[in-house]
Amino acid sequence: MRRALPDGFELDDEPARLDLDAIHRFLCDESYWAKGRSREQVAASIAGSARVIGLYRDGRLLGFARVITDGVTRAYLADVFVLAEARGHGLGTELVREAVEGGPHGDVPFMLHTADAHALYERFGFLRTGEKTMERPGRRPSGP
């Protein structure tokens, strides 16, 4: 998937295109949830994900999200971010939309952890299930 967004931004789920250094730098230095995560851990988490999505402008990575799932019963949205310089353009909304509604996992129930972006995820049907946990029901039965 490669999807153009306004003002020259684009989303792409091609893993080979990701800038691992930029992702590691943000997660380790700027996020509250992944401080201290090593570059090797970031690389392994990306490799073990079912889907990774980069947000780009002029070929430069400005945002990221990944989906962990068995593809049937549950999916987990992780490591969502947009760099400060690209915020305020609705790009986080498009990144989350693509992660939870686009691709092969749109019907699977999702969960995530967040301390500060509840309103964003609520737009996509996520409900608060705890102080930092949110879940979105799937669109198909999760049983056999």
Q: How far apart, in Å, are the Cα atoms of 45 and each of 40, 55, 70, 134?
A: 9, 18, 15, 21
pTM: 0.92
Print pLDDT tens along the chain (144 aa).
Answer: 999 999 999 999 999 999 999 999 999 999 999 999 999 999 999 999 999 999 999 999 999 999 999 989 999 999 999 999 999 999 999 999 999 999 899 999 999 999 999 999 999 999 999 999 999 998 754 444
Q: What is the pLDDT at residue 138?
A: 86
Q: What is the pLDDT at residue 144?
A: 45
Q: Is CATH 3.40.630.30 the right assignment for the domain spanning 2-106? A: yes
Separation of alpha carbons 134 and 136, rounded Å: 7
The domain ranges of the chain are: 2-106
